[in-house]
């Protein structure tokens, strides 16, 4: 009887230790100027203002360049004229297809970040001979467009998709 209980406890502890190493730590990045917050992987380095982003997250040890193996970035755009989210999204999707997308394969859908409805797009593209797969989502609050883009090399996308999904769904835009 005692052996059975000890065995169950040891199996339980094994699973706790095993799975705790598989789950990334998270930290919330909060931007007061543009009134948003977002979860980012805790072990990734965070840079503000790189390549015209508000914030960029890269795995530690990865060089900060346009052809990063993995990256998450947030851009906030102030629109000078009225657009609906759908119009803005469709115009940008058409531009992607004209300029970036490999094999014209592009997938899109809707996503919520808290109560706010947004639109996402997944596409493959070449950047300096590196084949990347990117998921990018946009939300609109007033005249501000919040764009969160997550990219990695094509062969790593399935591995990072759960991380990217959590990041995208964690965006919170505060009231003005």
Alpha-carbon gap, residue 162 to 124, rounded angstroms: 18
| Average pLDDT value over all residues in the chain | 84
By C-alpha distance, which of 19, 139, 29, 31 is closest to 79?
A: 139
Report the pLDDT averaged over residues 126-149: 92
Give pLDDT, residue 10.
47
**pLDDT tens readout for residues 5-20:** 545 554 444 444 344 3
Dump pLDDT digits (tens) for 56-111.
Answer: 999 887 655 555 578 999 999 999 888 899 999 999 999 988 888 877 789 999 99
Q: What is the pLDDT of residue 7?
A: 54
Q: Which residues of 54-65 are buried (b: 16+ CB within 10 A; e: fewer)?
A: bbbbbbeeeeee
Domain definitions of the chain by residue range: 26-173
Question: By percentage, how much of the chain surpasses pLDDT 70?
Answer: 82
Write down the CATH number for the domain with range 26-173: 3.40.1000.10
pLDDT value of position 50: 87
């Amino acid at each position: 009887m005692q052996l059975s209980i000890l065995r169950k406890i040891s199996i339980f502890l094994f699973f706790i230790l095993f799975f705790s190493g598989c789950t990334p730590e998270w930290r919330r990045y909060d931007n007061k100027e543009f009134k948003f917050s977002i979860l980012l992987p805790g072990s990734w380095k965070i840079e503000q203002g790189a390549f015209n982003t508000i914030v960029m997250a890269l795995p530690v040890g990865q060089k900060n360049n346009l052809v990063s193996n993995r990256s998450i970035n947030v851009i906030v755009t102030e629109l000078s004229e009225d657009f609906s989210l759908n119009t803005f999204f469709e115009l940008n999707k058409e531009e992607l297809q004209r300029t970036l997308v490999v094999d014209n394969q592009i997938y899109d859908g809707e996503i919520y970040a808290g109560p706010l409805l947004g639109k996402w797009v997944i596409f493959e593209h070449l950047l300096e001979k590196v084949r990347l797969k990117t998921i990018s989502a946009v939300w609109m609050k007033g005249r501000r467009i919040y764009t969160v883009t997550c990219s990695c090399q094509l062969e790593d996308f399935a591995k990072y998709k759960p991380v990217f999904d959590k990041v995208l769904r964690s965006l919170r835009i505060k009231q003005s």
